[in-house]
Each structure stands twice: as C-alpha cells, then as structure tokens.
Amino acid sequence: MKNIKNSLNRLINSLKKNLKRVKDEHLIREYAKNNVLFLTFVITCVINSTMLRFFCINSTENYLAIAPILADSAIVIIVGGLGYLLKPKNRFAYFLGFSIFFCLICVINSIYYTYYTSFASVSMLSLTQYVGDVGDAVVEQVINFKDFLYILGPILLIAINSKLKKKNLLKIIELKSERKKKAIKTVAVGAVFAIIFLFTLTPTDMSRLVKQWNREYIVMKYGIYIYQANDVIASIQPKINSLFGYDQAKKNFNDYFADKEEHQDNKYTDIFEGKNVIVIHGESLQTNLMSLSFNGEEVTPNLNRLAEEGMFFSNFYSPVSVGTSSDAELMFNTSLLPTKSGTAFVSYSDRTYNATPKLLAEKGYYTFSMHGNNADFWNRRNMHKSLGYDRFYSKEDYDVTDENTVGLGINDYAFFEQSVEKIKKIDEENDKWYGMLMMLSNHTPFSEVDKYGDFPVDIKETVTNEEGTTEEVTYPYMEGTKLGNYFKSAHYADGAIGELIDMLDEEGLLDNTVVIIYGDHDARLPRSDYNRLYNYDKETDSILDEDNPNYKEYDSYQYELGRKVPLIIWTKDMKGTNLNKEYTNVMSMYDVEPTLGNMLGYANEYALGHDIFDIGEDNIVVFPNGNWLTNKVYYNSQKEEYLSLTDEAVSEEEIRKNNEYASNLLDVSNEIIVFDLLKEDQTDENRVIENQEKGT
C-alpha cells in the first residue's frame, strides 16, 4: 500500500514538473506556432463533424455528448499525424486532400439527412443513377445553406497556408528522423484520445456498431468519421457473409419460423377469393391529408369517400428506408423489410421472393404492374420479374407528351386513362387478374403548381368593414410554401383517383374487383414546414411565438407519428356492410401481404408481418432504424426513450422484449434477402417432394 502511494506521488510530482516546464518554456505557444497547418486541419475537421451532428440530431443528449468529439478527434489527429512522415513541402497537399475528403463526408451526410432522416451509406452509390430523375427535388427541397458551411474548413486551410508562405514561415527542411519522431508522438496523442473514447462505450454501443441499422445512434456515439468507416465495412459485409455467414443465417431463419405462431382462420378468411384486384400505389400520400380542408374544400375528397365506404386502416405505417417507393413495394408484396445496406430492388433483384403476384399466379391469376416512369428506375424492369408479375407496363408503353407530363413523367390522369384501356383488354383475355397501378404526379418537389389546377390553400373570410359593408379578405396561409404546394399536388392526385374509379365503373371493371389503395411513404417534408400549418397567425401573416397560449407544439414524436399513410380496401358494394368501418390497430406495410392473403385465399409461410385480424391490438410496427410502435407506445431507439400513447407507464421488461423482437426481425429479414434463403428453402422442399415421388 505504501509503495502504491509513493508511486502515485511520484507520478503527480512528475506531471506537475512537466506542466511547469510547459508553462515556463512556452511549449504550447511554440508548438502552435510551428504546427499551424496541422492544428487548422484538426480543428476545422472536428468542428465540421460536430456541426453536422448538431444540425441533424436535435437532442440534449447529443448536444452534451463528448464521446463523438473524442472519436472524431482521434481519427483526425491520427490521419493528420501521418502527414508528418512527408517532407514539409508536401504536407499542405496532404492536409488539404484529407480536409476536402472529411468535408465531403459532412456535406454528403448533411444533404442526405435532410431528405432521408438518416446518414449516408456507400452502399447507396449504385443509386446515384436515379438522382438525375429527381434532381429538381434535390436542388429545391434538400440542399440548404448549412450544407455549404463545411467547405469553410478547406478554404481556411488554403488561406492560412497562403499567409504562411507570404511570411516565409513554412519549414522547408526537416530530417527524416525528426519527421518520424513527430509523427509517432502525434499518432500517440490520437491513440490516447481513442483509448479515452473507448472507455465511454457500453456493450450496447458496440453491438449497435456491428449491426449498423441504427445509424443516427452510431453517429451520436461514435461520430461521423467512425460511422462512415464502419459503413464501408458493413457495405461489403453482405458479399463476405454470402461466402462465410450462410450457416448462421440459415439457423436464425429456421429458429425464427419454428417459433412463429401459425395463422388461424378468422371471419375475414377467403372473403375476396376469386375476385380481381387493383392496387393503387399512391405516391407520397399521407393520412393527415384526409383531415385537412381549405375554405371548405377537402384536400382529398375521393380518398375520404372511399375510406368512408370501405375498410380504412387509419394507423398504418410504411417503414421505408433509403429505397423509399421501392421499399414500400417490397414490403407490400413480400412481407419483408428493407435491407440494411443498399436496396433490395437494386442490390438483390436476383433473389427468390414469396411475393403476392407470384402466389396469386399460382392460383390462376394474370398479374401485371403499370407505371408511367422509366422501367429501369429502381431497377423495376428486373425486380418485377422476380416478384412474379407476368407483365410490367412502363413509360415505353404509354403515350407521353409534353402536354400530359407532370414532374417525373406522365400525369396521373393520362396514366389512369390509358391504363384502363389496357385493363379492359386484360379482363377480356383472363378469368381473373391482379394489377398494381403506380402513381407518379404527387412525387416531390411538388413545384408544378400551374399544372395542379385551382386549389387555393389560403384563408378566405367575409368581413364587415367600418362602413357596414362586407368584403372578402384573403390571408396567404400556406400559399407559396413547400407544404402548401404538396397539398395542391395531393389534391390533384386525389382527383385522378376519383376519375380512375369512375372510369373503371363505367367499363364494368369494378363488378368483381377489390380496390386497394396505399400511400407508399410520407412526403418527406421537414418538421419545420408544419409549424406554419398549425401555428399561423392570420392577423400578422406570421407564425405564433412559442409562448403564445394558442401555440401548438409539433415535436419530433408528433412528426414521426404523423408520417402514417392511408390503407383502404374497397369494393363498390361494401358500403353499409359489416366490413365498412375504420380499423385503428397499428399496422405496417409488411403486414399487408398476410392480411390480404387471408382474404384472397393465398399464404406466404415466410411472411414476417401478421394478418392484422389475427394479431389485433398486440401488433408491433418495426422501423429500419430500430424504432418501434404499438397501440400503447412509440419507442425511439436512438434516444432510448419512449412516448406513451395512453398516458400509461411501460415496464422495462416490455421495452427489452420489444427491442429484442425488433432487432431479431430486422436481422432475419435482411438475412432472408442477402443469403437468398427462400430459394434455398424451396430447393430443399422440392428435393423432399422429388424423393417422396420416387419412394425414397
């Protein structure tokens, strides 16, 4: 004990002596003077990474976090320290090169987060081919002034280097041994930062780094630079796993489905068996549109009518990832979730899927899909074959002109009109059919207001002036805003849906047909845009202050919960029946296939979702970032906190159990796609059948 005490005293005295030496000899000042470029490089890169987190992740925990600053500092110091191995004349180019590299990481992630509310992945590089088609949306809605602040780092480095050159303060000659010594010391400092950072981590932090699906959490704990390096590893991992990880994935797959409860028949079983099916994939349609009106005119009168006459699932969510519309298609048709890296449509279109079109084709249905966009957008030309569609009608099958184009392609009115003619022919040639019609006009950036028709999103009031006469006064309200333009675009799309229903009815195509309408995902407009909607002060044409008693808080939880999309199942004779009602249990896009399968008489034994009428109020909606939702609670896995939806406390055991369920579901879904486990399983089944037929 005495020896330990003496050792501690010697260590403390040594530290005091060294600190006094640093102070007396002005070593810090000398170091700063002789290493200006290095320090500028380190400081600007760390400021950029910290600024990125602050802009993207709005939470007190993030603002006070030291760990990501330590992690980013360690990376930058080590990278910068290696620059000392170079001759002094080459160091500026080295520092500038890495400064630009780190700057680009911040710029790309800043822009990416604005649109996807997630951080970028190198696995998405294959999707840059689609940027040209939505370039207007990127420029108009996604790129902001803040995205250019990060370039100040490289600019400052250039300016300081120029100033040092003018004052002849750059060291030209340095011995190789001196360079090596300086590099080792600097890298050692970076290593110390890294060690301190490692002591801040918990086993949960390490587990989430490996899994990678909760990207926001990783950036908040590890910083952007470690996240991006880890993402590179995670992006090539599927290729490695496909060689080495199959056995474990297969075991997880078998264990999961061995424990899953079998579907039981219910009162909805086979109610639509043998009927034709039309699915309307509603681009960017959100449920909150259905409750809005301006000057007495509803934003979505046709959706509202169909919901009132049919089966309306009002707590329905589409947990898409970076694949947006293609992710929605994947979940709707296969009851699988988006992949952890890349997208299933682009990266895994050659896999085997137990998809609705394929399963209905086995029951004698002719299956088709129709979309007025390029067939190669989201790789649909190939993926729709894998999903089992007999025919994919794309842009090349439609008469597209300048007059009938809105946004990315043919407008919904012209698309539906030409599609009905094709469906008439299909109906004449086939006993029963299943078709998906994919809308396009309501795609971001919602800027072609002159083509959306007359739908004012202002406030019109009749007032009595001082003279006693009345006049109409107009307040701008949502006019000229992105959200206001979205309402105009959605109203336009809703009108097209109404015309489609009328055209189908006139042609007799609704007599034995089920119509299913779903919103593929939310409009991806930032939360701040809703502030004006809920807190507009018409007297001042401005937004109410937060301390105003009429101010309505629209926080991040309300924003997330507000991203729900509509799901409507409708037939022309459903109104007034026991099917015609609102269904309020939470439901996910990946629950649709088992729910519809029960109604139409087909089954996917490897569906990850549930028939909503089987599971009812016990359902859980899992999101790709690990968040989850039940009827009682919304859990945010990044913040590790929840919002009670019933004002009831939730036990730690329930949180733990649902977190485990969400993690397992995401893993199994990803492994099914990456390892093509359904193909392997079907091959095994076929082998068993062949052996039985041979009597072996």
pLDDT digits (tens, 9 = 90+) for 312-358: 999 999 999 988 999 999 999 999 999 988 789 988 999 999 999 99
pLDDT of residue 467: 77
pLDDT band of 526, cuts 50, 70, 90: confident
pLDDT band of 689, cuts 50, 70, 90: very low
pLDDT of residue 410: 95
pLDDT in tens, 466-480: 777 888 899 999 999
pLDDT in tens, 228-237: 998 887 777 6
**Amino acid in position 479:** E
pLDDT in tens, 80-135: 999 999 988 888 999 999 999 999 999 988 888 876 667 887 766 655 555 445 44
What are the structural domain ranges in the chain? Answer: 16-243, 275-453+482-625
**Which helix (DSSP H) or strand (DSSP E) does residue 247 occupy?**
helix 246-259
Number of C-alpha atoms within 13 angstroms, CB side, residue 452?
24
pLDDT exceeds cutoff 50 at 688: no
Burial class (CB in 10 A: 0-12, 13-18, 19+), 17: exposed
pLDDT in tens, 131-182: 445 445 444 555 677 888 999 999 999 999 988 888 776 666 677 888 899 8
Q: How far is 588 from 624, CA to CA, in rounded Å?
A: 12
Find out whether 633 and 644 touch, Cβ atoms under 8 Å: yes
pLDDT of residue 60: 76
pLDDT of residue 57: 83
Instruction: Write out the two tokens for 615.
Output: 């599971």
| Closest to 73 in 3D by CA, of 205, 227, 223, 217 | 223
Rounded to 10 deg, the angle between the 215-244 and 246-259 helix axes is 110
pLDDT of residue 491: 98
Sign of the CA dihedral 127, 131, 137, 143? positive
Three-state DSSP class for 113? helix
pLDDT of residue 127: 56
pLDDT of residue 695: 41
Higher pLDDT, 525 or 237: 525
Question: Quick one: three-class SS letters along 151-203?
Answer: HHHHHHHHHHHHHHHHCCCCCCCCCHHHHHHHHHHHHHHHHHHHHHHHCCCCH
pLDDT of residue 129: 53
pLDDT exceeds cutoff 80 at 184: yes
| Average of per-residue pLDDT across 530-538 | 94
List, as one string, the DSSP characters of 50-97. HHHHHHH---HHHHT--HHHHHHHHHHHHHHHHGGGS-HHHHHHHHHH
| Average of per-residue pLDDT across 37-44 | 93
pLDDT band of 205, cuts 50, 70, 90: confident
Between the CA atoms of 308, 309, 310 and 316, what dihedral angle is there, to the nearest 10 degrees?
-10
**CATH number at 275-453+482-625:** 3.40.720.10
Higher pLDDT, 2 or 496: 496
pLDDT in tens, 401-448: 999 999 888 999 999 999 999 999 999 999 999 999 999 999 988 889
> What's the mean pLDDT when you consider all of the chain?
88
Instruction: Write out the two tokens for 663.
Output: 């993690």
Three-state DSSP class for 464? strand
pLDDT of residue 6: 62
